[in-house]
Each structure stands twice: as C-alpha cells, then as structure tokens.
Amino acid sequence: MLQENTIKLSSSYVIASKVKDYSQLMKFNLTFMVVFSSVVGYLLVPTIEFNWVKVLLLFAGGLLVSGSANTINQIWEKNTDKLMARTAVRPLPSGRMSDMEAIMLAVVTGVSGTLIMGFSFNWLSAALSLISLVLYGFVYTPWKKWNSLSVLIGAIPGALPPLIGWVAGANELSIGGWSLFAIQFLWQFPHFWAIAWIAYKDYAKAGFKMLPGSGEPNKYTALQAATYTLLLIPAGIAPFKLGITGSTSAIVAIVLGLFFFYRAINLYRKNDVPAARKLMFGSYIYLTIVQLVQLLDKA
C-alpha cells in the first residue's frame, strides 16, 4: 500500500513538473495578456455581442498560437538562454526537455491554434495568426542578434492580437481593427526598451541588440521611448473618433498617455534602471486600463 502511494505521488510530481515546464516554454503568464487584447478587439466589433463559447474559443486559439511562437523563440535561443541568469533555468537550457519534444509541442500548438481560429471564426483571422507566429518565431527572434530593428519587427506580431480579434468578429480588415493595432504597435517600443534597459547586461552577454542608436541605455533611448509614448495619445483617441468607443475611453487614453509620457521623461532625466523599471510597469498599467475601459465604454 505504501509503495503504491509512493508511486502515485511520484507520478503526480512528474506530471506537475511537465505541466510547469510546458507552461514556462509557452510563457502562459505573458501569453494571457496578449490573448486578452485579442478578446478586446473581438468584443469591440459593433455587431458582436458577448458569447462565452466564442470568447473561450478565441482564448484557446490565441493561447495555442502565442504559446507556439514562444516555444519556437526558446528553441532558437536555447544556447543564449544558458548565458543569462533569468533564463538559464528554462526547460531547454537546463536540459529538462529535449529539442525534439519542444519542436513537437510548437507544431501541435501552432497547428491546433490556427485551426481553431479558422473553423471557429474565419480563415482571415487564422492567416493573421499564422503570420504573427512566423514573424515572431522565425524573423524577430533571430533578428535580435543582428541589430535593434528587431524591436520594429517584433512590434508587428506584438500588435497583431487586437487586429486578429477584430477580424475574427468583423471578418474583414477594416479601419477599426487597424486603430487598435496602432495603439499596441506604438506601445511596444517604450515597453521593449524599458525591459532591454533593465536587462541590458544579460542581453549584451547573450549578444542581443535591442536598444536604438549605440545600443546602450542612454538618454537617446529614453528620448525615443518618450516620442512613442507621446504618439500614443492621438492613437488612443482614434477608437472614439471612429465611433468604436465612447468619450470616456478617449479621456482615459489621454490621461494615461500623459502618465506614460511622464514615466518616459523621468527615464530621460534620471537615466537609470529604477526609472526604466517604472516605465516598464507604467506600460502594463497603460495598456491594461486603456483596453479595459475601451471594452466597458463600447459605443
């Protein structure tokens, strides 16, 4: 009896460890935020009403496609992940998972997610999902070692989720979806650069070129970040101007845009890691609240 219980506990531990490794590989915490923006885009389509089944299917499709892209990213970066303290414990560089297992996971999740989008919504949203996966996994990821234009490349798949959600509901590429894409596209730059500033030493060790100009954390980088936060203010008003959301969302976008801009200016003034960390957290605050208010203030 004791031996049976020990075997059961051992099996449970193995399963739990494997689930944890898959979760790390697919970056479920980060992916959840990405997929949430896709759901916001879907629900903002004027003709769409809330439907639990559709929302859960969109979540499932988005999680699988994004998880596949993140898995491909970690397969590419297995050797460089070994060099960085925060990534050395991941399943691949630590040796807890083989490359073939990770490849199989990427294929199964990528194909499954794309098919869910195609059969549950439309094939245009499925095609955009696949484009996002390819851009992130096979273009942005290797580009990080070439030059800082990788951030521009990465901003495209990073901004596609709300457009994918919009297309899933509207079945077309229309200006409403592009306005949501623009907000998340501009947001990517200060967000990425704040993270790259904080992790600069680790990134330099791995050979990643993420910061603009000389590639070092300096006032030029902070000024670039401030420019994009400023551009977010008119972009944040666009959904209201297009009749997608009400005036409350425009006011919130302006206030939070100014808050985000202040955080970027603070980085320019102080030129240090604590200010970059505040800008990074400010980016999460901005996008989360703006998208929630857009959803609550749908026209």
Over residues 187-216, mean pLDDT:
89
Q: How confident is the model at residue 10 (pLDDT cuts 50, 70, 90)?
A: low
Residue pair 191/232 in contact (Cβ under 8 Å)? The answer is no
Over residues 271-289, mean pLDDT:
96
Q: Is a pLDDT exceeding 60 seen at residue 13?
A: no
The long-range contacts involving 201-206, CB below 8 angstroms and separated by at least 24 positions, are: 202/83, 202/84, 202/85, 202/86, 202/87, 203/84, 205/83, 205/84, 206/77, 206/80, 206/81, 206/83, 206/84
Cα separation, 280 vs 274, in Å, equals 10
Q: Is a pLDDT exceeding 50 seen at residue 9?
A: no
Topology agreement, domain 20-173 and domain 175-299: no
Architecture of the structural domain at 20-173: Orthogonal Bundle (1.10)
Lowest model confidence (mean pLDDT) among 106-110, 126-130, 201-205? 201-205
The domain ranges of the chain are: 20-173, 175-299
Q: Is a pLDDT exceeding 60 seen at residue 212?
A: yes
Residue in 150, 158, 164, 212 with CA at minimum distance from that of residue 184 = 158
pLDDT at 12: 59
Angle at 274 between CA 268 and CA 280, to 5 degrees: 80
Over residues 51-59, mean pLDDT:
96
Q: Is a pLDDT exceeding 60 seen at residue 155?
A: yes
pLDDT at 24: 83
Amino acid at 33: M
Architecture of the structural domain at 175-299: Up-down Bundle (1.20)
pLDDT at 2: 44
Q: Is a pLDDT exceeding 90 seen at residue 295?
A: yes
